Amino acid sequence: MKRVDILSRLEKTGVVAVVRGATKEEALKASHAIIEGGMTGIELTFTVPQAAEVIKELVAVYNDRLDVVIGAGTVLDALTARLAIMAGAEYVVSPSFDIKTAELCNLYQIPYLPGCMTITEVQEALKSGADIVKLFPGSVYGPSIISAFMAPMPQASIMPTGGVNLANMADWFKAGAVTVGVGGDLLAPAAAGDFQTVTETARQYVAKLKEIKG
């Protein structure tokens, strides 16, 4: 039930913020700014220094917010996945598919979202228990690839990441995305310490999502 509950909450977020940062502090402030703007899905990447500590702190702060879902991104192996899960990550995202990571996430009943680019990779991910497939990088294909993948595999749940923005988000959902991952334009101001703009951009994404979902 834990896994089903997390997946349900993750899908309800609609838009997942892929949070990177040069420092632990930048990533924390960016995450808080995003949540303040109304976006409640956070994927804290392991390119962030002390990423596990950031996840632990975020989970502690938002423990009483069931709408907020904190996960780990750029997880390249099972060891990193376990560190993330022990820190409190509720889901694990990888840029590529890794069977050992899939097995570990299955063991702990944590959703695993591996990055896939081909129909063969999608098939392997689904066979290994992946609940949502991360289409990455989405910018290589465009929204039409989702319907192409789902023609032979209608059971696949796909989350495009990379190249998703306010201008094309509606196209991705129309094509069949279950949720989307965003980062570039949302997080860019954080590098300059402009977290207010991060919050304002997050609000724009929330408003756009409401418009799309009706």
What distances in angstroms separate CA 97 from CA 12, 33, 73, 134, 142, one per listed residue? 24, 30, 13, 10, 20
Per DSSP, the three-state class of 7 is: helix
Active site includes 29? no
pTM of this prediction? 0.96
Which residues of the chain are modeled with pLDDT < 70?
none
Alpha-carbon span 200 to 110, nearest angstrom: 31
Contact 155, 139 (CB under 8 A): no
pLDDT (tens digit, 9 = 90+) per residue, 131-165? 999 999 988 988 999 999 999 999 999 999 999 99
Which one from 26, 90, 134, 208 is the annotated catalytic residue? 134
pLDDT at 150: 92
Position 122 scores a pLDDT of 95
Q: At what angle do helices 24-36 and 51-61 cross, to 10 degrees?
A: 30
Residue 43 is among the residues annotated as catalytic for this protein = yes
Query: What DSSP string runs through 134-192?
Result: EETTGGGT-THHHHHHHTT-TT--EEEBSS--TTTHHHHHHHT-S-EEE-HHHHGGGGG
Q: How far apart are CA 43 and CA 23, in angstroms?
A: 16
Q: Is there a contact between 44 and 19 (Cβ–Cβ < 8 Å)?
A: yes
Of the residues 26, 43, 57, 90, only one is catalytic, namely 43
> How many CA atoms lie less than 13 Å away from 174 in the CB half-sphere?
9
Q: What is the pLDDT of residue 40?
A: 98
pLDDT of residue 8: 95
- Residue 159: how many CB atoms within 10 A of its CB? 26
Is the alpha carbon torsion for 44, 11, 100, 98 positive or negative?
A: negative
pLDDT at position 214 is 82
Q: Please report the pLDDT score of residue 89 as a whole number.
A: 98
